[in-house]
Structure 1
């Protein structure tokens, strides 16, 4: 019975099946898109203006964060950004579930961090059912340009993800991972 009492938003954030066209979610998207339009129209040199928008929009934003426009998200409220994070042009962070980015992370241009998933069954897709899985990115991580971080993935502290890589499974601490799918090619703590 508790399952029936949960809103589509609660179901979405929990990673359970939810209806994407639920009125509350549609309204949240409209709010987020208004923030996105304002943010992306803000001059890159307007650090205070950008910070004000990010603070009102995202779940949390640490100190000294730089996210260069264009920046695209679904809801914003499920995105948690640590201190001194730098994201270059073109970050896409689809946050139907929680995305956490640790302190001192550096994100190259045109990186996608994705939490949404869609059913394999075509009928469920037509009915607008979706679900998701959270993404966690550790502290002092460097993600190279064009990388894709897929739903449900965790990336450990001090790790480097090579440009263009597709991270489809968890990557531990202190490693370099590259390729599609990304594989560990070097252990940094053994040097």
Structure 2
């Protein structure tokens, strides 16, 4: 297997591999272009994001500055919005559903490292995918860790550190995040 294939399969891989390094460099060139374009040039920004990401809905918008590792491993649904200083480390697949909003300074991190210090010192790492359902809102400065899945209609409180998966219709917060309350869809419509 190539290092990229290992990375995408969730196995240990070396990110310093020439192919992976070249892919990250290409991504950074695209990000430099995206982040240098005026926010008012919405159509140009959307075109660049559609070319950067693995797949998107028709409507998406991301404020600058935006950072990611590869871009091609990010898949967002219809009506996606991310505010200032969003970071998505996409060494594994990141899937975000329809009608999702991300507040400022949010991080979604698929990349992780071995716990053993000798193994970690070699530079090896691995990645776990992140999946976020439809109609989710992630509050400012929240962190979504590797391997997390969030169901539909989840609200993540500002500053939360999400270390495990949660099902549908919950508000989560804290470090580590826990369920704060249920989302009542009947009362939330009014």
1:69-111 deviations in Å (ceiling 9; x for gaps): 1000001010001110111101100000000111000110000
Match of 1:16 in 2: 11
CA distance in 1, matches of 2:68, 2:169: 28
Q: RMSD across aligned C-alpha pairs, in angstroms? A: 1.1
Counterparts in 2 of 1:109-148, with a 5 A limit?
109-148=104-143
User: How far off is 1:125 after superposition?
Assistant: 2.1
User: How far off is 1:55 after superposition?
Assistant: 1.4
Match of 2:91 in 1: 96
Unaligned residue ranges in structure 2 (runs of 5+)? none
Query: How high is the TM-score relative to the length of structure 1?
Result: 0.95
What SS does structure 2 have at the residue aligned with 1:27? helix
Unaligned residue ranges in structure 1 (runs of 5+)? 1-5
Count of aligned residue pairs for this structure pair: 186
Match of 1:48 in 2: 43
CA distance in 1, matches of 2:97, 2:9: 21
Match of 1:3 in 2: none
User: How far off is 1:181 after superposition?
Assistant: 0.7
Equivalent position to 1:73, from 68, 74, 79 = 68
CA distance in 2, matches of 1:77, 1:158: 25
Query: How high is the TM-score relative to the length of structure 2?
Result: 0.95
